[in-house]
Amino acid sequence: MKKLNDELDSRLENILADLPNMFDSHDFINRLIEKFNDFYEELLLEYKKAKDPTATLHSRIGMYLSRLSRYGKILKKLQADGTPELNHSLNIKGYKSYNHVWIKNM
């Protein structure tokens, strides 16, 4: 996981640069794939023995985004009741699923 975090850290500004101020986890993953497809494929190969390599990698990326929010680099968008706002958007497999909404804070 440390390698994943370090590798994403080195690409973070480049990934965030083209995202709107408010984005969801799927947006982040899609931008990662667009800008660093070879790197994404390498990451996916690291999880090839997992039951679902894509879901496992995307879960790790979600944990990475949560880590960034703890350090204040991005913020979780919250609803009025204080719970995280979720967006229902298409994942890379073409299915709609819920994921967190983030706000740039860099």
1 — pLDDT class (breaks 50, 70, 90)? low
Average pLDDT, the chain: 93
CATH architecture for the domain at 2-104? Orthogonal Bundle (1.10)
pLDDT score recorded for residue 74: 95
> In this model, does residue 60 exceed pLDDT 70?
yes
42 — pLDDT class (breaks 50, 70, 90)? very high
What is the rounded distance in angstroms from the CA atom of residue 80 to the CA atom of residue 67?
23
**Dihedral, 101, 65, 18, 97 alpha carbons, nearest 10:** -50
- And the tokens for 5? 């975090």
Please write the tens of the pLDDT for every residue from 10-38: 999 999 999 999 999 999 999 999 999 99
Please write the tens of the pLDDT for every residue from 74-83: 999 999 999 9
63 to 2, 66, 81, 82, 104: CA distances (angstroms): 12, 5, 23, 20, 16
